[in-house]
Amino acid sequence: MNQAKTISLMVGLTVLFVLVGRMLGGNQGMVFAFILVSAMNFGSYWFSDKIVLSMYKAREVSEDNYPDLYAMVRTLAQRAELPMPKVYIIPQDSPNAFATGRNPEHAAVAVTNGILKLLSREELMGVLGHELSHVKHRDILIGSIAATIAGAISMIASLARWGAIFGGFGGDDDNGGNFIFVMIFTMIASLAAMLIQMAISRSREYLADEGGARISGNPHYLASALAKLDAYSKRLPMQKANPATAHMFIVNPLTSGKISQLFSTHPSTEERIRRLENMV
């Protein structure tokens, strides 16, 4: 199922780029856009994890410098019957975590400095179990690619908007009509980027919560961790968090108000906690 979603996302990105290339540069623009999006699809499949980790300046750690964290990940990975993932630390005080990679054999788990300071050992086990559940369900690739695609959609929407302003539409004389069309297109493209993240994230978070509770051994571990993470991340949102990657984190790293909660990439923390407690 996730492989089909990944292919669908890549095909959708290709079509979107080619259409924009056609509007901005005619046939030549269409060919250029196809070459560009082909390179992006290749890069997003093979390097999306490295791109996301580099966005947050995450550094890989070993058992020598973080023995407790490394041993915890190894123990939980063994319980989940997964290969040992790479472990990364994000230099941020905001408490959060995510997993990335193209498959379980090339997976990585990243946690912030803030989460290591905030959570107890049991709560951290719940969070790591959640991230390893993402790895086990093989939805880390689609999450990483969705982050790349959401950023790409925002980029082409901006490109189309500037192209409309400066009249770059392959020689078409009806610039006024094109301008209105592209303005509508950019709004739809931005909405599409948000919907891609929402569609991917909300359902899989519940599944990862359930799987994480089983891997860690107690649903209360993750439930307690989510309550703390939700409260602290709202008071201390992640610095320079990229909206295109928000869906990858265990809790939303962005500041959220009432309206933004409606379009959040994450289900409500209260509902997630309720479902975990019902597992007991």
**154, 120 contact by CB (below 8 A):** no
CA–CA distance, 65 with 75 (Å, rounded to integer): 17
**23, 160 contact by CB (below 8 A):** yes
Residues in the chain: 280
131 is catalytic: yes
| Residue tagged 């292919």 (tokens) | 7
What's 169's DSSP letter?
S
Handedness of CA 190, 196, 198, 199 (dihedral sign): positive
What's 120's DSSP letter?
-
Which entry of 63, 123, 131, 205 is annotated as an active-site residue?
Answer: 131
127: number of Cβ within 10 Å = 26
**120, 149 contact by CB (below 8 A):** no
CA–CA distance, 178 with 160 (Å, rounded to integer): 10
What's 190's DSSP letter?
H
Distances (CA, A) of 8 to 38, 42, 96, 203: 14, 14, 29, 18
The per-type count for the chain, helices as H runs and strands as E runs, is 9, 4
Instruction: Return the active site residues.
Output: 131
